[in-house]
Amino acid sequence: MAAAMIGGAFLSATVSTLVEKLASPEFLNYITITKLNVSLLRQLKTTLLTLQAVLDDAEEKQINNPAVKQWLDDLKDAVFDAEDLLNQISYDSLR
């Protein structure tokens, strides 16, 4: 049970890190220079902020609901993929 709570807290922290990365001047500058769709970036940021609120609730419910735990596990994979993508974009922006 404690491991599930720690895993959920780790996921929340990772989502927070992604939001911070999206808001960084370096990242925004790269998006502008490469002429990527800024509105999609804003939409992603909004989605991540919404996800943060849902995660807070889901972390508590996963203890008693296996479906919520499975959803969190699947979400963790998706968040890690997003983190990898943003790290690659950050790396490219520094080159």
Q: Break the chain into its structural domains and give their ranges.
A: 19-94
The DSSP letter of residue 24 is S
Specify the amino acid at residue 70: Q
pLDDT at 1: 47
pLDDT at 93: 76
**Ordered per-residue pLDDT tens for the chain, 95 residues:** 445 555 556 788 888 888 888 888 888 888 888 888 888 888 888 888 888 888 878 888 888 899 988 988 888 888 888 888 888 888 887 77
